[in-house]
Every structure is written in C-alpha cells, then in structure tokens.
C-alpha cells in the first residue's frame, strides 16, 4: 500500500504518502469509514507541514524522492505515523465520531479499540466533491483492493459510515447497496437522518446519512445519543 504511486499524481498533495489508517487497524475491532484523507493532514496553504506541525509521514520527512524507492525502514515509518495518529493533538475532527462509538459500542480511537479507514488512501489537492466522475472512479478503483484486504485480514467486525456522501462512494466503488434500517430526526426543523446497513466480506457496514461534522445541527448531543442507541440496538438484532 505504501510503495505504490497514486493513480492521478497531479491530483494528490505533492510529497504526501498514502494514509494506511488513522490508528492501528490491526488492533481495532471497529473502524469508521470516510472517503479520503483531508489535504490538511499534510499541508497548510499549499505548504507541507514540517517539524512539530507534521502529522503524518511525507517524502521530505522520510528523506525520499519517491514512494516506489522507499526502504523497508521508511515504509515502517509511514505505517507507524498512521498508527500513532491519535497520540497527537490533531484529531478534533474525530471527536464527534468517538462520541457515537464509545457509549454505543464501547470502543474509542483513543484506547486503540477503534480506528479510521478511507475508501481512498490519498489526500487530494482538490475536495472530493470537485473531482470529476472519472477521477473519482480512478481513486476508488485504486483504493478498493487495499481497503478490502485491510477489512478481511483484521479483527474488524463493524465498519461505521459517516454521511450520505460516503454511502454514495461505497456504492460507486461497488462494495454494495445499503438498506435503510432506521430513521432519526434532529433540530427544530426535524431534519431526517437515515440509518443504513449492508454486509460485505462478512463484515457489517452500518451508519447514518447526516454528516456529523459539517451538517448544521448534526453534532448535537441529542442526535449523537440517538445514533449511538440506534447502532447498538440494530447490531444486537
């Protein structure tokens, strides 16, 4: 996974490395799933993060010129930086998801029992929504095999999916079509949040349609509690 070159190099943050996982997927029992890492994991204002600001390995931090030329020790450093992500101060995007997982499933990013995976392991310089359909397919096709290998060769039993755009990408990647199993409402306008589930490779994918980090009102304690209870109840059926 680490030594391969990206499918569209011009669309990937220059000098970045593929993000194998956030946290150690081999030690976790539950993973959250997104589309791809944010460019902000590697850069600020188009400049690679360095020193104490750096979150993950870069070609510069590895003193390397290309991914394909990485030594075994350099590959190990990429993986270790991914595994140690939640020991750093940059995990605030994940806090909301942890508030769903911890009470509902008894797992957390911060004790190693949960991790985060992406359908696409590359941080793109443009937002995912700004990529063309062809570009999205290239990245999803590239990431699919690696993601399936991770899921199948791990102790992961539950994959939590955050947001309708991730569910749409799951379908686009050919991983399955989810079924609606529940529905919650939040905010003064009683905005609908669907709960979806699907089975793939013997694993349960379950999650919600609202984007908890960006949709107005979706990170309310009320909805987070509803989601936590719904996920827990559905998995017990």
Residue 142 belongs to a domain with what CATH number? 3.40.470.10
Question: What are the angstrom distances between the C-alpha of 84 and each of 119, 132, 160?
Answer: 20, 33, 21
Give residues with Cβ within 8 angstroms of 24, minimum separation 6. 82, 83, 112, 115
Q: What is the pTM of this model?
A: 0.95
Q: What is the largest CA-CA distance in the chain?
A: 55
Residue 168 belongs to what domain range?
A: 9-236
Q: How confident is the model at residue 10 (pLDDT cuts 50, 70, 90)?
A: very high
Question: What are the angstrom distances between the C-alpha of 98 and each of 91, 101, 102, 160, 185?
Answer: 10, 5, 6, 11, 20
Answer yes or no: is 68 within a domain.
yes
Query: CA 84 to CA 165: how far, in whole Å?
Result: 27
Question: How confident is the model at residue 134, as a pLDDT?
Answer: 95
pLDDT of residue 231 exceeding 90: yes
Answer yes or no: is 215 within a domain.
yes
Answer yes or no: is 182 within a domain.
yes
**How many other CB atoms are found less than 10 A from the CB of residue 51?**
6
Total domains, the chain: 1
Question: Token digits for 162?
Answer: 């955050």
Question: How confident is the model at residue 108, as a pLDDT?
Answer: 97
Answer yes or no: is 198 within a domain.
yes
Answer yes or no: is 1 within a domain.
no
Query: CA 176 to CA 197: how far, in whole Å?
Result: 10
Q: How confident is the model at residue 189 (pLDDT cuts 50, 70, 90)?
A: confident
* DSSP sequence for 123-164: PBSS-GGGS-HHHHHHHHHHHHHHHHHHHHTSS--EEEEESH
Answer yes or no: is 53 within a domain.
yes
Among 51, 44, 34, which residue's Cα sits nearest to residue 13?
44
**Parallel, antiparallel or unpaired: strands 114-118 and 203-208:** unpaired
Answer yes or no: is 3 within a domain.
no
Answer yes or no: is 36 within a domain.
yes
Question: How confident is the model at residue 115, as a pLDDT?
Answer: 97
């Amino acid at each position: 996974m680490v030594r391969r070159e990206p499918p569209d190099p011009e669309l990937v943050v220059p000098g970045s490395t593929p993000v194998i996982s956030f946290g150690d997927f081999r030690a976790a029992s539950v993973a959250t799933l997104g589309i791809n890492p944010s460019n902000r994991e590697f850069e600020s204002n188009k400049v690679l993060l360095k020193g104490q600001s750096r979150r993950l390995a870069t070609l510069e931090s590895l003193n390397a010129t290309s991914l394909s030329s990485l030594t075994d020790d350099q590959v190990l450093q990429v993986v270790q930086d991914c595994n140690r992500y939640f020991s750093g101060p940059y995990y605030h995007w994940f806090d909301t998801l942890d508030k769903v997982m911890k009470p509902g499933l008894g797992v957390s990013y911060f004790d190693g029992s949960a991790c985060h995976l992406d359908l696409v392991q590359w941080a793109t310089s443009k937002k995912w929504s700004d990529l063309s359909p062809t570009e999205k397919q290239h990245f999803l096709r590239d990431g699919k095999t690696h993601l399936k290998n991770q899921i199948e060769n791990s102790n992961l039993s539950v994959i939590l999916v955050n947001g309708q755009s991730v569910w749409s990408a799951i379908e686009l990647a050919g991983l399955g079509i989810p079924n609606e199993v529940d529905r919650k409402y939040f905010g003064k306008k009683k905005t609908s949040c669907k709960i979806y589930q699907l089975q793939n490779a013997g694993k349960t994918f379950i999650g919600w349609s609202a984007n908890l980090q960006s949709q107005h009102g979706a990170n309310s304690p009320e909805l987070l509690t509803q989601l936590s209870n719904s996920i827990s109840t559905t998995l017990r059926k």
